[in-house]
Amino acid sequence: MKTQTKEIQENLTAADAHRILEQGNKRFVQNVKAQRDLKSQVFETSAGQYPFAVVLSCIDSRVPAELVFDQGIGDIFSVRVAGNVINNDVLGSMEYACKVAGSKIVVVMGHTKCGAVTSACKRVELGNITELLSKIIPSVDKVHPEKTDLSEEEVEEVAIENVKHSIAAIKANSSILSEMEASGEIEIVGANYSVETGEVTFL
């Protein structure tokens, strides 16, 4: 598997970037990971990086974006925060990835059995976690208003809604990214990762 170069990145479309991620996850699920020499990639990327994607995912230890998309050193920008929520620092990171560093796709990837989403559904309040969860509560309220005892299926519905909510927040609060999407320079897509099967489903 080739290391990302300026030339490769420049010739990729948003649709190409989407397909690379889909194919990478397919390899991961089938346990046929691409051959790559990570140590060589460290050397090859030392003078500069040309990642093709930025992925916002949860801090969950079971959801490492590079591994589940079978990517190497220098391939993707990985933004991680519990519950894959949006704040200005996350938006700034995404804007850097696309506008400055040339990435072609923004993925917001939620996952099944998410502790942050489950805690938001239970309206947990604890230290700084309270403010973090307040970014997920609107999705809880949208799917199951005034309910605190959600079933597993209902929690998964909230997780999907939370991804959609993050996508909407990107488009509403980043004119840079929404303009790049409108002009076809980038794609902004949601996804859901199954901790049971390792499969990524694009929404």
Residues within the interface to Zn ion (CB under 5 A):
58, 60, 114, 116
**Closer residue to Zn ion in complex, CB, 60/75:** 60
Residues in the chain: 203
**Closer residue to Zn ion in complex, CB, 60/156:** 60
* Rounded distance between C-alpha atoms, residue 185 and residue 13, angstroms: 7
Q: How far is the CB of 159 from Zn ion (least distance, A)?
A: 8
**Closer residue to Zn ion in complex, CB, 58/163:** 58
**Closer residue to Zn ion in complex, CB, 11/128:** 128
Closest residue by Cα to residue 179 from 113, 99, 71: 99
Q: How far is the CB of 129 from Zn ion (least distance, A)?
A: 13
Torsions phi, psi for 165 (to 5 deg)? -65, -40
Cα separations in angstroms, 40 against 12, 45, 46, 74, 200: 23, 9, 10, 11, 28
Q: How far is the CB of 89 from Zn ion (least distance, A)?
A: 18
Cβ atoms within 10 Å, residue 142: 14
Let me know if 2 is exposed, middle or buried by CB neighbors in 10 A (0-12, 13-18, 19+).
exposed
Q: How far is the CB of 114 from Zn ion (least distance, A)?
A: 3
Q: How far is the CB of 185 from Zn ion (least distance, A)?
A: 29
Closest residue by Cα to residue 109 from 7, 195, 1, 171: 195
